[in-house]
Structure 1
Amino acid sequence: MTDPVLACAAVLLLGLSTYRFFARGRRGRTPALRHTCCFAWCFGAFLELMAGQTRADIDHGTGLAGLSGMFTDHLKMGSAGFLALAAVSLRRPAADARALRLRQAGTALAVLSATVLFLLAGIREDGGQMVATGAFGPVALAGYDLVITGYVTCCLVTLARQTLHWTRQADTTALRTALGLITLTAAIGLLWAAWGFDDVLGALRSGRQLTTEDPVSLVLGRLCAVLLLAGATTLLWARAGRAARRWRAAYRSYRSLGPLWRALHAAFPQIALSSGRMPPADAELALYRRVIEIRDGLLILRRYRTAEAPAGAGGAPRGTDAAARAEATRIADALLRARVRDPDDGAPGTVPPAAEPHLPHIGGMEAETRWLGQIAQALRTLPPRAAGPR
């Protein structure tokens, strides 16, 4: 029976790592990225073997008892080794390749030792168990388990120490969360590896070992897979969340400018830069275009403004809301004048510099959008006679 959790985790790991490897291009593949992708490929294949009946198919297809178990254990060792290599490559300068070469040699030696011990054990299958039949079968099988468990433990300790160091230096919440999840994955992996010492004792006592993972190992494997995926994708989800919040803020600002834009567009249709509507995915671009169109409309409206504030403006505004309401009243008054006056014969309505639109000091697109939004909301609340079309 296929384990859906492990199968889904395997597919996601393999797909995500492959995408990252080829998306970076040849020049962008740093040693850390290569080692991380190799880890994901090894661990994804390991989870895929644990998830279904592939192990049994390998054993029956080749006729070699325990071959799938050895292959699975080698994938586990490779996963841990590549994790340690990734941690070392990020910790040390690129010019210091000695540590990487030592780690690679250690990985090769551990895999070779485990293979030799497995062959010396003379494994055969008996009722879902691997039985050591060689002269030194139980000792060789126990040594095989000890090499795998010890090597994985050493690699996970290296990873945990490095991620703890990085977590303390992380400057963003998302990065700290991702590193914290990876550190927790390493801790669960250490517990998972430590559980393998039970196989060492069992091999010494009886020379027997299960061909599949026991229930505790499966639970720990699921936890590692879920936590690892959560940690590996935290930054992606954080980036997607920031993009969604930016889209929401831009769309809300776009909607808030509606009353002012519609009033100006009704009087001056030529301010529209395009007759088509922007798709919802382009909320920031649509907001930018709407601000430009409003600015164009306000520039055209200058010829219809008067030097004196219209009645109801409340004199010199003292606060931001009062300033926005006063400016909205001036705009509404100018719009009423624009509907009944030809701009070319309205020389008396042309304003001197003192009657320019009220523009406070604007510190950027966000501040300008906020100011225009306040004017738009004030314009929406004005009496219909003064506000004109909305």
Structure 2
Amino acid sequence: MNAVFLGMACLLTVAAGYWVLGRGTPRPAGTWAMGALLGSFALAFASYSPLLDDAVETVVPHVARLLSNTASLAAATAVLAVSFQLDLEPAEAKRRVRLRFALFAASAVGMTVLFTYEQMTHRSPQVYALYLLLFISYLGFAIIEFAQQSVRQSRSARRGSVRLGLRLAAAGCAFALVYTAYELTVLVSLGLGIHLIRDHTECSSLVATPCVFSVTSPALAVLLICIGLTLHAVAYPISQARRHRWERRSCDALGPLWQDLSAAMPEIVLPATPHHDASADADFLLQRRVIEISDGILALRPYRSQQVLESMQRTTNVESEEKAAIVEAAVVKAALAARNVGLLAKEVAPPSWEAASRKDLREDTQWLLRVADAYGCQTARLADDDQTPVGG
């Protein structure tokens, strides 16, 4: 257990340092709140470690419980602060964060006073019950408030990673409520003097009773909430890297079609933008290439042959979308050849319906990628036919 809890504490400490110090300036809203959240979660995980418990209790007996509970309250407060700053206007978020911090400070001071008095009275059950009541009240209030916000925000979030993260955080709140229910049971047991839960000082297993409620549940709650709130920040650079790779590959795949069109019609090439390095911006380069190819296909309209269109539609026996791309590629290739010799179409073929139905850059790109793939296959097939020896 020491390796698990201390390892997570070190990992979260590094994450907190990166979040606060390694993101450059200016820092986005919520940076300090997220750093406090990761730091308090690191302290919470460290407080669950038997090694740390033994070390601090050699100095002050039973103080590990106070440190663990205070870290849990700090984590709950940091969670609310992050949630407020992401969901509310800055002024309202600041007001609510100050109020929750004041409640946390009052709870932590009250718990410290009660803990000290409890030790002076030789662990009085009545004083311990008051300590638990103060701890449970604030923790339960913070968990329920954050769970409500997580569920509400997950329904309106647009990004899939944000929705998933909020749902994971809501699941973490469920584990936190299990821990709160356990502490409430301890409180009732002390109040009634019926000893529903045996006195327990050290956990040797994460699945044994009552450790599954007193240690495993809060640890899972901290882990799920931490993953949930940071999932988008981790997923975003990954999705950006995947998007940039797709843009670069798309530019390369559209290259042969673009080269043939731009060689025949240099006027479709957009002028260079001053002070812009197109080679370093795949998104910019892809957008230019899609526009230039679309302009080139539009410029070929007087040369688009209805006869070629009908012939390809009769001879192509594939699925509808792939068939449309193959037909369009054949029409473009024939129109480009006709333009090079100045031969207008006797009957002009209409523009592709598939191209007209696209709504954004990505859909336009995906359509042109199919056309470019079919165009390349037809070019390669014609080249092979030209190299075939006469008479076999």
Same fold (TM over 0.5): yes
Question: d(CA) in 1 for partners of 2:137 and 2:117?
Answer: 19
Q: Compare relative contact order (CA 8 Å, sep 6+) and give the higher one, 1 or 2.
A: 1
Question: d(CA) in 1 for partners of 2:147 and 2:373?
Answer: 55
Q: Contact 1:3–1:52 at 8 Å: present in 2 too?
A: no
Name the CA shift for 1:233/1:111 in 2 (closer, same or farther; >3 Å): closer
The answer as to 2:77 corresponding to 1:81 is yes
Specify the SS of the correspondent of 1:94: helix
Q: Contact 1:199–1:209 at 8 Å: present in 2 too?
A: no
The answer as to 2:160 corresponding to 1:134 is no
CA shift for structure 1 position 135: 5.8
Residue 340 of structure 1 is matched in structure 2 by none
Q: Contact 2:330–2:378 at 8 Å: present in 1 too?
A: no
Residue 51 of structure 1 is matched in structure 2 by 49
Name the CA shift for 1:236/1:385 in 2 (closer, same or farther; >3 Å): same
Question: d(CA) in 2 for partners of 1:149 and 1:223?
Answer: 18
Name the CA shift for 1:313/1:115 in 2 (closer, same or farther; >3 Å): same
Residue 13 of structure 1 is matched in structure 2 by 12
Residue 157 of structure 1 is matched in structure 2 by 144
The answer as to 2:102 corresponding to 1:111 is no
CA shift for structure 1 position 220: 0.9
Specify the SS of the correspondent of 2:48: helix
Residue 190 of structure 1 is matched in structure 2 by 177
Specify the SS of the correspondent of 2:114: helix
- What residue identity is the alignment partner of 2:201? L
Name the CA shift for 1:324/1:182 in 2 (closer, same or farther; >3 Å): same
Where does 1:321-332 land on structure 2 (aligned, <5 Å)? Answer: 321-329=326-334, 331=336
Specify the SS of the correspondent of 2:180: helix
Specify the SS of the correspondent of 2:2: coil
Where does 1:305-344 land on structure 2 (aligned, <5 Å)? Answer: 313=308, 321-329=326-334, 331=336
Name the CA shift for 1:15/1:159 in 2 (closer, same or farther; >3 Å): same
Name the CA shift for 1:258/1:187 in 2 (closer, same or farther; >3 Å): same
Residue 121 of structure 1 is matched in structure 2 by 118
- What residue identity is the alignment partner of 1:17? A
TM-score, length-scaled by structure 1: 0.67
Q: What percentage of residue pairs aligned between the two structures are identical?
A: 21
- What residue identity is the alignment partner of 2:161? A
Q: Contact 1:145–1:196 at 8 Å: present in 2 too?
A: yes
Q: Contact 2:107–2:138 at 8 Å: present in 1 too?
A: yes
The answer as to 2:61 corresponding to 1:65 is yes
- Gapped runs of 5+ residues in structure 1? 123-132, 272-277, 338-348
Where does 1:300-379 land on structure 2 (aligned, <5 Å)? Answer: 313=308, 321-329=326-334, 331=336, 369=365, 370-371=367-368, 374-379=371-376
Q: Contact 1:247–1:284 at 8 Å: present in 2 too?
A: yes
Specify the SS of the correspondent of 1:64: coil
Specify the SS of the correspondent of 1:65: coil
Q: Contact 2:325–2:370 at 8 Å: present in 1 too?
A: no
Larger Rg: 1
Comparing 211-220 with 153-162, greater Cα deviation is found at 211-220
Where does 1:244-259 land on structure 2 (aligned, <5 Å)? Answer: 245-247=242-244, 249-250=246-247, 253-254=250-251, 256-257=253-254
Q: Pick the aligned partner of 2:377 from 373, 377, 380.
A: 380
- What residue identity is the alignment partner of 2:326? D
Question: d(CA) in 2 for partners of 1:380 and 1:55?
Answer: 69
Give the RMSD, CA atoms, in angstroms: 4.9
Name the CA shift for 1:266/1:51 in 2 (closer, same or farther; >3 Å): farther
Question: d(CA) in 2 for partners of 1:55 and 1:96?
Answer: 36
Where does 1:228-307 land on structure 2 (aligned, <5 Å)? Answer: 228-240=225-237, 242-243=239-240, 245-247=242-244, 249-250=246-247, 253-254=250-251, 256-257=253-254, 260=257
Q: Contact 1:202–1:209 at 8 Å: present in 2 too?
A: no
Name the CA shift for 1:292/1:384 in 2 (closer, same or farther; >3 Å): same
Count matched residues: 347
Question: d(CA) in 1 for partners of 2:100 and 2:287?
Answer: 53
